[in-house]
Each structure stands twice: as structure tokens, then as C-alpha cells.
Amino acid sequence: MSSTKKIPWVVKYRPKKTDEVVNQEEAKKLFIKWIDSWISKKPEKKGALLYGPPGSGKTSLVEAVAAEKGLELLEMNASDYRRTSDIERIAKASSRARSLVSARGKILLLDEVDGISDVADRGALEAILDLIKNTQHPVVLIANDPWNPKLRGLRDECLMIRFRRLTKTDVKKVLRSICASEKLVCDDDAIDYVAEKSEGDLRSAINDLEAVGEGFGRVTLSATKALLRTRDRDLETFEVVRRILTSKYSWQAREASTQTDLAPDELIKWIHENLPRQAQDPEDLWRAYEAISRADVYFSRIVRSQNWDLLAYAVDMMTAGVALSIKNEQYKFKWTEYSPPPEIRKSAIVAREVRRVREDLAKVIAAHLKCSTSTAKSDVIPLLKVIFDNNLEYAAKLALGLNLSDSMITYLSESRGEQIVKRVEELRQEIRRETRKTVLELSRESRASSGRARTKQSGKKEEKNSRGLENFSRK
């Protein structure tokens, strides 16, 4: 089994050294200088807030610096420190002098702080502030959007380190080097396309590259377009679900859920269906299912009490609650095929089928009556439906005359379709018998008459033939 487990490329190609973090020179310099000031025990600010667009290397840089400086990295996501007590536990550990705790220095990393809700996680932000004031170790906070008012207190206590959106050139450079390491044939225009679409988010670019490489074995422009475009168009709901399940931050998950027209009680079915495809770590799954079932409880309470205030909690549970439950990055960001929930799968097929039958039927009618298909749909089909529901014999004859397929007949009358189809078959048999009879009679007749004719002619013909034979044998 373990051999089939694949490390997703975003994990495999995470920078191991600061050199490998591309195009964040300013951030690198500031951050390393700040860590060094901790090592020489005179930090100006005890916390640093790294901020910038997703997939620009914030987490990567902290990890690379920790590795290079031989510091132990205590890394936590918002889900780990939502409660004040969690942060107090961390704070206690970090307020002890470092020589007592371990020989190695530490970095405390609180990722996705903008995922902390100032309402739901009341106290958590103050607890982080306390942590920064009392810490004996560097405290690193990471946020996408640091300008949220709820983070103001934290901003004041932190050295602000900005990450730039990566340029298309940066993204292409990394993608190319990954192609080289994977010995993957990558066309330049395909790399260009992936980079363009990523808008500087290297994480999504790498995920896209992996998906194309895995699916097609070779990264060509057409393969890339095919894969990424279908993902755009047909799989809109899938993308929303994917965005929810792979969200690192609670705000991302919440925001994604607003990108669809699906009602929350529909969306939850999609999430439920695809959760086990994305999250394969049993512990993650267990936590996520718990979040889903809590959302479900809220939904049934809303139905019972008509208390719509609960909707926000339900949505929070099924989006952020589920997303933050999935921690195992081996699966979390891996591109996997999604599927609609079973009832939608079925009805989608049925609906598509019905639409197709209706189109075909309209074409048949239009051809017969020399009208447009839209007239056939608006004027003729409704009339046929009345006939098909009420007059079996006439319906069967019409069906026969128009040469309708069984599904067209069933489309025209659900209640009596089967009977009509049977009757059509009987009529067809009858006609066949009739035609056979007529054909037989006709051929008998024609044979009889041509037989007479032939006996007259055949005399001459045989003469000719025998003469021919004579001629032949004489040669």
C-alpha cells in the first residue's frame, strides 16, 4: 500500500533551504535578521507577522529558516488554537526559559491567524497577544490579509513582513524545475498557461501541473487546457467543494461556500459525498464527519424551530469546521476526482436524457411538418401529449407514422407509454405480415407474368446460346 501513496508535489517540492524560496528577498532578509536578533537575545519585537497572498512562500520560508538555524518549529493552524486554553498551554511552554525546556531553540508558528473569528473564538486573539508579550521564543504569525481590524492589536506588537505576489516568471521557473525533477515532458506554452492561470499562487500552479502530469503523462497545452477548462466550466460546484475541503483558513472555506447558488442544505450533500475522496486520514475523516453531523443537527433544528439565525453556525460547521478538520497535507491538497451526490448523479442523468429525447422528437416533428423545432416544442409536442395520454390507438398510429423511438413515446405519455409501445409493435407486426403477403402476391404475380413472357423469348435465346456454344466449340 505504502508504495502507492504519493507525496503531493506541493509537499515534495517545498523549499528546504531559504535559497530555494524564490523572489521574496526582502522578506527573507527581514525575517532572518529578526530570527538572528532572537538568537543574540535582543529582539526589537517579540512577534513577527508574515503576510501576503496565498502560495507566495510564507510558511515555506519559516520552515526553511527553522531547518537552517537548527530551530525546532512548533507549527499550529488556527484549528489548533481556537480556544483560549490552547494558547495558554502554548504560552506556558514558551514562557519558560529555553535552556530549561530543551537545548534547542524554538519558533512558535501560528499559521492562518486571520482565520480566527473575533466573535466565535473570543479571547483567542487576546491570548495570542499575551503570548507574544511573555514569550521566550520567537512567535511567528501568518495571515493573508493583515489589515483586518480584528488583527490591529497584533499588528502593533509584531514586526510586519510583507510577501509579494509571485510573478509569472517566478512561477514558470519553479514549474520548469519540477518538470525536470519529475522527468516530465512539459511544453513551454503549457507551462505558460498554468502560470498565467495561477495568478501568482504557486501552490495552485503546482497542483495544476501535477494534475495534468498525472492525468496525461505529458504536459501539453491542449491537455492542460482540457483539464483546467473543464474544471472551470462543468465542475463549478466541484471547484467550490474542492476549495472548501482544501481550505487552509476558515475564512477561505466560508468564502468559497458563497461562490455557489446551491442552498446550504444541498451543498452539504456535495461536501459529504466528496469528503472521503479528499480526506483519507481516518482521524481527519472522523473529525470532519463530526463537523458535518453537527451542521446536520443545526439544519434539522432550523427546520423544526424556523430559527434562521442558526444557519450561520450550520454553514460554519460544514465549511470551516470540515476544512480545518483535514490536516494531513498528504491528502489535503492532492487533486482527486470528485463526484456529485448519488441522488443528483441520478437525476442529472435522467434530466439530460429527457432533454435529449425532447430535442430529437422536436427534430422528427419539424422534419415531418416542415416547421421549426421550437414550434414543434411549443405547439406540437403539447398537443401530442394530450393525444398520447387519451387515445391509444391514434397515438400508436401517429408513433408508427412518425417512426418514433420507444423513449420518445414514453416521453409523450408517461402513464400509457408502455401500452402504446406495445401497440406500435403489434401494428408493426401486422403491417409486416401484410406487406409480406402483398410482396409475396406481387412477386407471384410478376413471376407468373414474366414466366409467360420468358417462355416466348427463351426459344430465341436458347438458339442464340447454343449457337454461341457451337461457335465456341468450333474454335
Ligand X SMILES: Nc1ncnc2c1ncn2[C@@H]1O[C@H](COP(=O)(O)OP(=O)(O)O)[C@@H](O)[C@H]1O
In the structure grid, which three cell numbers stand for residue 64, read together? 526553511
Query: Which of 30, 32, 43, 54: binder of ligand X (CB under 6 A)?
Result: 54
Select 60 or 413, whichever has its Cβ closest to Mg ion: 60
Determine the residue type at 459.
Answer: G
Q: Taking the mean position of all CA atoms in its chain, how far away is CA 31?
A: 36
Cβ atoms of residues 65 and 18 within 8 Å: yes
Query: What is the closest distance, in whole angstroms, from the C-beta atom of residue 26 to Mg ion in the complex?
Result: 18
Determine the residue type at 291.
Answer: A
Picked from ligand X, Mg ion, none, the partner binding residue 60 (CB below 5 to 8 A depending on kind) is: ligand X
Cβ atoms of residues 45 and 156 within 8 Å: no
Cα 441-444-447 angle, rounded to 5 deg: 145
Binding mask 211-250 for ligand X (x = CB under 6 A): ----------------------------------------
In the structure grid, which three cell numbers stand for residue 210, read together? 501535477
277, 276, 257: which is closest to 267 by C-alpha? 257
Residues 6+ away with beta carbon under 8 Å from 285:
275, 276, 279
Residues 6+ away with beta carbon under 8 Å from 156:
none
Q: Does 59 bind Mg ion (CB under 5 A)?
A: yes
Q: Rounded distance, CA 11 to CA 328, Å?
A: 11
Query: What is the closest distance, in whole angstroms, from the C-beta atom of residue 111 to ligand X in the complex?
Result: 7
Residue 187: count other Cβ atoms within 10 Å of its Cβ.
Answer: 16
Picked from Mg ion, ligand X, none, the partner binding residue 22 (CB below 5 to 8 A depending on kind) is: ligand X
Query: What is the closest distance, in whole angstroms, from the C-beta atom of residue 142 to Mg ion in the complex?
Result: 6
Residue nearest to Mg ion (CB): 59
Name the one residue in this structure whose C-alpha cell is 434562521.
Answer: 308
Query: What is the closest distance, in whole angstroms, from the C-beta atom of residue 240 to ligand X in the complex?
Result: 20
Edge-to-edge strand list for the sheet holding 139-143: 72-76, 106-110, 139-143, 47-51, 158-162
Picked from Mg ion, ligand X, none, the partner binding residue 31 (CB below 5 to 8 A depending on kind) is: none
Q: Give the helix ranges, DSSP H, for 199-307.
A: 202-216, 221-233, 236-245, 250-257, 264-278, 282-305
Select 22 or 256, whichever has its Cβ closest to ligand X: 22
Select 60 or 136, whichever has its Cβ closest to ligand X: 60
Picked from Mg ion, ligand X, none, the partner binding residue 174 (CB below 5 to 8 A depending on kind) is: ligand X
Cβ atoms of residues 54 and 203 within 8 Å: yes
Given the DSSP bridges, would you call strands 47-51 and 139-143 parallel, antiparallel or unpaired?
A: parallel
Picked from Mg ion, ligand X, none, the partner binding residue 341 (CB below 5 to 8 A depending on kind) is: none
Site for ligand X in 9-38 (CB under 6 A): 10, 13-15, 20-24
Select 27 or 384, whichever has its Cβ closest to Mg ion: 27
Query: Which of 58, 243, 287, 332: binder of ligand X (CB under 6 A)?
Result: 58
Binding mask 199-218 for ligand X (x = CB under 6 A): ---xx--x------------
Picked from ligand X, Mg ion, none, the partner binding residue 203 (CB below 5 to 8 A depending on kind) is: ligand X
Residues 6+ away with beta carbon under 8 Å from 307:
301
Query: What is the closest distance, in whole angstroms, from the C-beta atom of residue 210 to ligand X in the complex?
Result: 11
Query: What is the closest distance, in whole angstroms, from the C-beta atom of residue 60 to Mg ion in the complex?
Result: 7
Q: Rounded distance, CA 244 to CA 324, Å?
A: 10
Q: Does 175 bind ligand X (CB under 6 A)?
A: no
In the structure grid, which three cell numbers stand for residue 408, read together? 420518445
Query: What is the closest distance, in whole angstroms, from the C-beta atom of residue 56 to Mg ion in the complex?
Result: 9
In the structure grid, which three cell numbers stand for residue 41, read together? 537575545
Select 21 or 161, whichever has its Cβ closest to ligand X: 21
In the structure grid, which three cell numbers stand for residue 194, read together? 498554468
Query: What is the closest distance, in whole angstroms, from the C-beta atom of residue 341 to Mg ion in the complex?
Result: 31
Picked from ligand X, Mg ion, none, the partner binding residue 131 (CB below 5 to 8 A depending on kind) is: none
Cβ atoms of residues 10 and 57 within 8 Å: no
Select 49 or 179, whichever has its Cβ closest to Mg ion: 49
Select 245 or 420, whichever has its Cβ closest to Mg ion: 245
- Give the footprint of ligand X on this chain (CB under 6 A): 10, 13-15, 20-24, 54-60, 166, 174, 202-203, 206
- Give the footprint of Mg ion on this chain (CB under 5 A): 59
